[in-house]
Amino acid sequence: MTVALVWFRNDLRLDDNPALRAALDGGFEVVPVYVHDPDGEGLSRPGAASDAWRARSLAALDDELRRRGAALHAFAGHAAPTLAAVAAACGASAVFWNRRYEPDIEARDARVKRELREQGLQAESFNGSLLFEPWTLRTGKGGPYKVFTPFYRAALTRWAPEAPWEAPERLPVPEEAPHGLDLAHLRLAPKRGWDGGFWSMWTPGEAGALEALEAHLDSALHDYANGRDRPDRAGTSRLSPHLHFGEIAVSRVALAVEAQRGRIADTHIDAFLRQLVWRDFAAHLLHHFPHTVHSNLDARFDGFDWASPNRTTLESWRRGRTGVPIVDAGMRELWCTGWMHNRVRMIVASYLCKHMRVHWRVGADWFAQTLVDADLANNVMGWQWVAGTGADAAPYFRIFNPVTQAERFDPHGDYVAQWLPELAPLPVPLRHAPWRDPQRLAAVAPSYPLQPLVDLARGRDDALLAYRRMRNDA
């Protein structure tokens, strides 16, 4: 039998893993490999919360492999020479992996493939993470999509999922393979344990991902179209970090949800599948417009007068001390759990980009550091959408009012009370706008800001003025 390396990256699962399947179908013995190469990842270099997740996810993958008679061989270094050296050490003739679609990673992987092939190795990559790879859906004129709805329609017409592939109970492995590093030596887990609050909510790894899917099918999916906008309920799947790290195949998720038709109303199933297509749309945009990692997709905003962020005000936003409860609750949820509800992500992003007029990149950088689901494509698309600079974005002049949003989507104030317990004694609607009764606020929560960092009406007017100036200058 000849040997193949299976290079694991953001596909940390065995189930329905096309690279692993290709190795087994090709009759190879497999050496599962992980290469820690943060420098090679450029702008996709993971943040601290991502690393904390990855540390656990790699350990879970290693456990799954050991259960099947194999193990994860971990190395640190540049990907191409490391893979070539490992292949030489175990006599491998092939390297298989699943593709990623971020610009710096695509460029790195193209180099890796070329260099491995130049050394006579078979190097093949596969789609293990999207329903549609970025180049498969095209507009009538053959170009990329910039608007979601036609992309979504095209996706619905073309969707023809295959039954998922299940990994075998035992994996054929060669007698000798370089042992590699102990996973702890990759130093991914935080030293100071600031991630302690994460793990009551999350179980990184394939088993945790399947559990999250099962839980979603049993509960949130039944009312997803209504519940998905309510941060005070467990109304969404919380699959995002599992999908980001490829601990579950998106096609398996989509098929499992699709199979609920008849048991769960179509509105909920359609609404959920639509969100999975948003994920593909983000990858599509990033692949075709790679400059959007740091520049506006809508170039008219290049002349926008962003405010220079002052360190203290920025820190108030980051730490959840803006004095606007729904914003502060979201930022504290993020800090404590590594995740934030989508509706609240939009509210905190809008407050930063519009009321504080801070460039969306500043917010995107903070999310990239603190989210366990930090994903370059989704994050950039989300921030540019809220800032009004991106694809299919709401017009700039539609500015979220955080109080109205809170009253609508957290009607009983439960979400605010959960993350800002000091405000729980205040009745709703005061809990969402406590500055309206400063005396009462000071009595129940003396350390909470008495006034919002940026007054809501003034912040809105200033943002609109800056927008009008930009249009007049253009």
Least distance to ligand FAD, CB of residue 400, Å: 11
**Judged by CB under 6 A, which of 3, 71, 239, 286 binds ligand FAD?**
239
Does residue 19 contact residue 125 with C-beta atoms inside 8 Å? yes
E strand or H helix that includes residue 282: helix 266-288
**Judged by CB under 6 A, which of 44, 57, 98, 378 binds ligand FAD?**
378
383 binds ligand FAD (CB under 6 A): yes
Q: Which lies closer to ligand FAD via its Cβ, residue 228 or residue 252?
A: 228
Query: Near ligand FAD by CB under 6 A, which window of 109-117, 373-381, 399-407, 436-444?
Result: 373-381
- Residue 239: helix, strand or coil by DSSP? coil
Q: Which lies closer to ligand FAD via its Cβ, residue 59 or residue 362?
A: 362
**What b-and-e string marks burial along 313-334, b requiring 16 or more CB atoms within 10 Å of the CB?**
bbebbbebbbbbbbbbbbbbbb
CA 354 to chain centre: 23
19 binds ligand FAD (CB under 6 A): no
Does residue 164 contact residue 15 with C-beta atoms inside 8 Å? yes
Q: Which lies closer to ligand FAD via its Cβ, residue 82 or residue 384?
A: 384
**Judged by CB under 6 A, which of 379, 400, 410, 431 binds ligand FAD?**
379
Q: Which lies closer to ligand FAD via its Cβ, residue 63 or residue 365?
A: 365
Least distance to ligand FAD, CB of residue 23, Å: 27
Does residue 406 contact residue 432 with C-beta atoms inside 8 Å? yes
Q: Which lies closer to ligand FAD via its Cβ, residue 109 or residue 373?
A: 373
Q: How far is CA 361 from CA 2, 101, 303, 304, 397, in A?
A: 47, 20, 15, 13, 20
What residues from 276 to 305 belong to the interface with ligand FAD (CB under 6 A)?
276, 278-279, 282
148 binds ligand FAD (CB under 6 A): no
What residues from 385 to 424 belong to the interface with ligand FAD (CB under 6 A)?
386
CA 235 to chain centre: 18
Nearest to 339 by CA among 254, 212, 460, 436: 212
51 binds ligand FAD (CB under 6 A): no
What residues from 326 to 365 belong to the interface with ligand FAD (CB under 6 A)?
342, 345-346, 349
Does residue 54 contact residue 183 with C-beta atoms inside 8 Å? no
Q: How long a stretch of residues is the chain?
A: 474
243 binds ligand FAD (CB under 6 A): yes
**What b-and-e string marks burial along 392-410, b requiring 16 or more CB atoms within 10 Å of the CB?**
bbeebeebbbbbebbbebb
* 189: exposed, middle or buried (Cβ count in 10 Å: 0-12, 13-18, 19+): middle
Given the rule CB under 6 A, which residues bind ligand FAD?
Answer: 228, 236-240, 243-244, 275-276, 278-279, 282, 342, 345-346, 349, 367, 371, 373-375, 378-379, 382-383, 386
